């Protein structure tokens, strides 16, 4: 039997204060290999806090592994291009608020390309120059509120493809380049824009309404001297009905000036009041024509939500392709309708399951009963009636006035004498007595002399005998034929 081994005994090594400091120095980035903490600053791990240190310039040198740099509440009035002479690849948050900062170089952020959070609030900045932040391609939050900014160059936010929040409240901005939002290419990820407490007098309400709801939900316009108009009221009224926080949380601060007035009134109180008498707008109305292809957008304030479905006016739930491909649910949640028919008109509902609560959106589709570029499929009833009346009048006039005369070859001759016009059979509707067209011999070679025979060989029941032909230069009067084709609407009957 092999001899048993003695049990293993753990040995305790005493650790003194000097050994603990040695270990911490090896683990801390502020050791001898990483650099020392600047004077009057507090260093913890990769955080460097120099707040309220009465600094007039950025301390140098800065360790290259700094991730968060807090320089707030100092006297750094100018941020030059050389404030960070070496590249700081790990710096993602820079805090410079409350410094009286009045100048920022356009090259100030060349060495901090990974910056995601930049706080320049509560300073004295007056302009945002061209391409000021163009080196910050990964910036997500930019705080510029409580400054003296009056001018914003449209290229100041160039290349900020990841910017999500932009705070510009409490400045002196009279015009902000809202085309940055309309184009959707310069700030594609922007989800919050604060323009409150500035000097904006007008905003393009139609363009703002076209923005997605998730951006309108965080577009703050309160405490601006806006001019009252109905499009602005309808924009905010839609936001109130949709419970958008930028409207619902600041209803009392959303005010405007009436034309010719000096007092601010609540914008949401303009409904039905003079002098504007604004009317409430419907949520969403889309007009189209037969055969068109339209896309109904699900304008939800929840961004990136995939759980959604549509319900047609007939109550059918659309989850994918349907109707032989005429109804298609797109990947972005929109509903596409192809080859529109009259029965496709109605109110469509979009159901969205949001992270906090569900949302239901309604889109009313109006389908006009004719194609946009081709001939109308159905004519309007009033138009059809009008065309029929005009054609009837034209045909009557042609029949009355353009009927060819049978005696066109006998111009200059007379017809045989006719009975006197005082016969009881003469037309009471004729306003002008019949006169021969000229003097001379009658056109026909045979004249019927029978008392019972009338014109065209027809028998006259009570006619008067023909009178002997008068001799004289004037034409002979004829007895009117009650069966002649004479129009009661014509002043000069047609002689047949």
Handedness of CA 145, 149, 151, 152 (dihedral sign): negative
- Tell me what the mean pLDDT of segment 207-213 comes to: 83
Measured CA to CA, the distance from residue 281 to residue 4 in angstroms comes to 94
Confidence tier at 372 by pLDDT (50, 70, 90): low
Is residue 419 in some structural domain? no
Is residue 487 in some structural domain? no
pLDDT, residue 220, reads 95
Instruction: Note down the domain range covering 338.
Output: 286-368
304 pLDDT above the threshold of 50 = yes
208 pLDDT above the threshold of 90 = no
66 pLDDT above the threshold of 50 = yes
90 pLDDT above the threshold of 70 = yes
Q: Between the ranges 252-256, 342-346, 411-415, 456-460, where is the mean pLDDT highest?
A: 252-256
2 pLDDT above the threshold of 90 = no
Check residues 58 and 357 and name the one with the higher pLDDT: 58
Check residues 349 and 234 and name the one with the higher pLDDT: 234
238 pLDDT above the threshold of 90 = no
Measured CA to CA, the distance from residue 118 to residue 105 in angstroms comes to 15
pLDDT tens string 15-65: 443 343 333 344 445 444 456 788 889 998 899 999 999 999 999 888 888
Query: How many domains is the chain partitioned into structurally?
Result: 1
Question: In the Cβ-directed half-sphere of 194, how many Cα atoms lie within 13 Å?
Answer: 18
Number of Cβ within 10 Å of residue 330's Cβ equals 12
Stated as kind and residue range, the H or E segment containing 220 is strand 219-220
Is residue 218 in some structural domain? no
Strand locations in 262-354 (E): 264-266, 285-289, 294-296, 308-311, 317-318, 327-329, 335-337, 346-353
pLDDT tens string 268-291: 888 877 787 887 766 677 888 888
- Tell me what the mean pLDDT of segment 331-336 comes to: 83
Helices (DSSP H) in 339-454: which residue ranges? Answer: 381-401
Backbone dihedral angles phi then psi of residue 400, each to the nearest 5 degrees: -80, -40
pLDDT tens string 454-473: 444 444 444 444 544 544 44
Is residue 182 in some structural domain? no
Measured CA to CA, the distance from residue 419 to residue 468 in angstroms comes to 9
Is residue 52 in some structural domain? no
71 close to 50: Cβ distance less than 8 angstroms? yes
Measured CA to CA, the distance from residue 58 to residue 40 in angstroms comes to 12
pLDDT, residue 416, reads 54
255 pLDDT above the threshold of 90 = yes
Rg value, the chain, Cα: 47
pLDDT, residue 454, reads 46
3-state secondary structure of 385: helix
446-463 burial string, b = 16+ CB within 10 Å, else e?
Answer: eeeeeeeebbeeeebeeb
- Tell me what the mean pLDDT of segment 405-427 comes to: 50
User: For residue 296, what is the domain's CATH number?
Assistant: 2.60.40.10
Cis peptide before 275 (omega within 30 of 0): yes
pLDDT, residue 395, reads 87
Cis peptide before 61 (omega within 30 of 0): yes
Measured CA to CA, the distance from residue 385 to residue 309 in angstroms comes to 46
pLDDT, residue 404, reads 65
Q: Residue 22 gets which letter from DSSP? A: H
Is residue 306 in some structural domain? yes
Is residue 334 in some structural domain? yes
Is residue 290 in some structural domain? yes
């Amino acid at each position: 039997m092999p001899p048993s081994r003695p049990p293993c005994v753990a040995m305790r090594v005493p650790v003194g204060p000097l050994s603990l400091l040695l270990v911490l120095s090896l683990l801390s980035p502020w050791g001898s290999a990483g650099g020392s903490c600047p004077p009057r600053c507090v260093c913890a791990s990769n955080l460097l806090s120099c707040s309220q240190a009465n600094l007039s310039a950025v301390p140098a040198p800065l360790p290259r592994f700094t991730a968060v740099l807090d320089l707030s509440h100092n006297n750094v009035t100018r941020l030059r291009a050389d404030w960070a002479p070496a590249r700081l690849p790990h710096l993602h948050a820079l805090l410079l608020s409350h410094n009286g900062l009045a100048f920022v170089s356009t090259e100030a952020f060349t060495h901090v390309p990974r910056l995601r959070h930049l706080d320049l609030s509560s300073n004295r900045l007056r302009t945002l120059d061209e391409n000021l932040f163009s080196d910050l391609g990964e910036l997500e939050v930019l705080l510029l509120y409580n400054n003296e900014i009056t001018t914003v160059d449209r290229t100041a936010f160039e290349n900020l493809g990841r910017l999500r929040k932009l705070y510009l409240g409490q400045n002196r901005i009279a015009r902000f380049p809202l085309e940055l939002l309309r184009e959707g290419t310069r700030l594609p990820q922007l989800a919050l824009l604060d323009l409150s407490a500035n000097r904006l007098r007008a905003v393009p309400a139609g363009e703002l309404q076209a923005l997605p709801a998730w951006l309108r939900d965080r577009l703050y316009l309160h405490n601006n001297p806006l001019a009252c108009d109905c499009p602005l009221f309808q924009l905010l009224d839609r936001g109130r009905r949709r419970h958008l926080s930028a409207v619902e949380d600041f209803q009392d601060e959303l005010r405007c000036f009436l034309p010719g007035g000096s007092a601010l009134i609540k914008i949401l109180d303009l409904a039905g009041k003079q002098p504007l008498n604004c009317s409430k707008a419907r949520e969403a109305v889309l007009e189209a024509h037969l055969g068109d292809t339209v896309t109904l957008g699900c304008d939800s304030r929840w961004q990136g939500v995939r759980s959604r479905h549509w319900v047609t006016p007939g109550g059918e739930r659309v989850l994918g392709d349907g109707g032989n491909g005429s109804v298609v649910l797109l990947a972005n949640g929109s509903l596409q309708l192809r080859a529109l028919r009259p029965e496709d008109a109605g109110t469509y509902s979009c159901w969205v399951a949001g992270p906090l609560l569900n949302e239901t959106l309604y889109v009313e589709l109006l389908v006009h009963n004719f194609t946009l570029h081709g001939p109308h499929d159905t004519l309007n009833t009033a138009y059809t009636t009008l065309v029929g009346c005009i054609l009837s009048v034209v045909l009557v006039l042609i029949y009355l006035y353009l009927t060819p005369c049978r005696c066109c070859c006998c111009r200059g001759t007379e017809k045989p004498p006719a009975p006197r016009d005082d016969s009881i059979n003469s037309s009471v509707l004729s306003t002008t007595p019949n006169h021969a067209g000229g003097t001379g011999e009658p056109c026909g070679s045979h004249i019927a002399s029978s008392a019972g025979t009338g014109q065209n060989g027809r028998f006259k029941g009570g006619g008067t005998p023909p009178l002997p032909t008068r001799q004289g230069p004037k034409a002979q009067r004829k007895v009117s034929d009650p069966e002649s084709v004479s129009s009661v609407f014509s002043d000069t009957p047609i002689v047949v």
